[in-house]
Structure 1
Amino acid sequence: MSVDREELLAAWRVEEERHREGWDFSYLQGRLTEEEPPWDFDTSCRTALREAEHVLDLGTGGGERLLSLADDLPADVIATEGWEPNVPIAAARLAPRGIPVVRYDPETPDEAMPFEAGQFDLVLNRHEALDARELYRVLAPGGVFLTQQVGGDDFTEAHEIFGSPASYPDHTLDNIATSLREAGFLIEDSAEWKGRMVFHDIGALVYYFNLVPWDVPNDFAVDRYADTLLDLHQRPPTFTKSRFWLRAVKPEP
């Protein structure tokens, strides 16, 4: 039993230290099964891009998702990223397309977007925090804000297992929609959904936790939570996946 334990922990330590770039989850292919929302956010983005001339991608991560939309991007596109390790990664990936990456963190109190009022006619946001009033300011009249978000009740089971409170419990469709309406937006469409995410081995879970550290305790480490991980190894976990999306428009005068 002790040999098995040490072999498992050694394998999980490797996953804990494995190099990661941006928000690329392709390494977990075949080790993670997850349901997807009934809407197609990428298709919604493509449709909006075809009608836009000045686009902001808010929270681009490593630039992966924006590049997947490359065929529909206009000439004028700017991306932001708030997590420092991702900034140089995104900049290197997007530079060949002529897309600059600006460091901006919507969660920094009172930090204004480094853009002019009315500069964009489309802002895309996939799983990034937002400042409704700043969004309203940088969008031109008639401009569109399109976002998909992770719900505050995402990965509830992980918080219960590891004894950590949810990082953003108030991050709900209702609350985000309310903040946008208060800023002056009109909500044109929205929906929310919950599904399942199944990890087929604990090494995959460890790797995933290091991509999304807000879903586990701040002190998460394989050795610190070895007993919990070994217990999970006996019964591979299923977690709740929570998503919502909306489309908002800044009214014409």
Structure 2
Amino acid sequence: MNYINKLDYMIFYDKVGALNGWDFSTLKVATEGEKWDFYKEVTDRCEKSDLLLDIGTGGGEMLLSITDSALLLVGIDHSKDRIQTANANLQKSNKANARFLLMDAENLEFPPSFFNVVSCRHSNFYAEEIAKVLVKDGMFLTQQISDNDKLNIKEAFGRGQQFGSDEGLWKEKYLEELAQAGFSDIQHVEYDATEYYKSYEDLIFLLKHTPIVPDFGQSEHDFDILQKFIEENQTGQGIRTNSKRFMIIAKK
């Protein structure tokens, strides 16, 4: 199994956050086969009077886009650079009902039963901590990257995040932890969509700023592999790979 450990991930996260602000908005990529919009799923479960916590909020762009859905929205992240960016975005947005805090998901420093809804997109979470801060009948939603995401890229390089692991391992782990933490009515869905990256530069940006292929670019041989991969996966729509995701929705 080739999982990135917690310390390595945190170091990587801080490094990339400082480098590019986690701004992937310039990437030119088209996706076919997505089955949901995660933050729409979140807002569909919010009342105007609710308090919402977003774990791993990054630069806060998504949370700031849904401020009309709840009374108060709080985004947390363990990267200082990300929270600085989020607070800068908050100041520019003139939104009065959002807050961004530097905090680790492993220790949620909020009163018990404080939030009505907790969301977490592509970030680590701890089921017991979420159960602690959710009200009774509160909702938790998470979207996570599946083991076989970007599978053809990982196969080409012979290495990659979660490459070689049993498919569904992370999902089953999360489902078990949520059940143990006292959540009920736990539902899960998944999709395996097709992605098309428009150019070589778009794919380079993705690989350099995500942990899909560990240490990508440190060896010149990586670019030979990438060139061959592009030749084999180039289509009229772009360079083909996959985006595999799962979503869990659980009620406390």
Which category describes the TM-score, using the shorter chain as reference length?
Answer: 0.7 to 0.9
Larger Rg: 1
Unpaired segments of 5 or more residues in structure 1? 1-15
Shift of 1:39: 2.5
> Does the CA contact (< 8 Å) of 1:153 and 1:166 recur in 2?
no
Report what 1:91 is aligned to.
87
Aligned residue in 1 for 2:24: 25
Residue 153 of structure 1 deviates from its aligned partner by 1.9
- Tell me if the contact between 2:207 and 2:216 (Cα under 8 Å) persists in the aligned partners: no
Percent of pairs with identical residues: 26
Aligned to 1:82: 78
SS of the residue 1:175 aligns to: helix
Query: What is the CA-CA distance between 1:179 and the residue it aligns to?
Result: 1.2
Instruction: Extract unaligned runs of 5+ from structure 2.
Output: 1-15
The one-letter amino acid paired with 1:87 is I
Question: What is the TM-score with the length of structure 1 in the denominator?
Answer: 0.78
Instruction: Show the counterpart of 2:250.
Output: 248
Show the counterpart of 2:3. none
Match of 2:13 in 1: none
Is the CA contact (8 Å cut-off) linking 1:127 and 1:149 kept in structure 2? yes
Runs of 4+ in 1 over 6 A off after TM superposition: none
The answer to whether the 8 Å contact 2:63/2:73 transfers is no
Which amino acid in the other structure matches residue 101 of structure 2?
Answer: V
Provide the alpha-carbon RMSD of the alignment. Answer: 2.5
1:90, CA displacement in angstroms?
Answer: 1.2
2:100 equivalent to 1:104? no
Number of the residue aligned with 1:37 = 34
Against the structure 1 CA distance between its residues 175 and 37, is the aligned structure 2 distance closer, same or farther, given a 3 Å change threshold?
farther
CA distance in 2, matches of 1:131, 1:220: 33
Count the aligned residue pairs: 224
Letter in 1 for 2:119: L
After superposition, where does 1:1-253 map in structure 2 within 5 Å?
A: 20-22=20-22, 24-29=23-28, 32-50=29-47, 52-74=49-71, 76-95=72-91, 96-98=94-96, 99-106=98-105, 111-167=106-162, 169=165, 172-212=170-210, 214-221=211-218, 223=220, 225-235=222-232, 236=234, 237-250=239-252
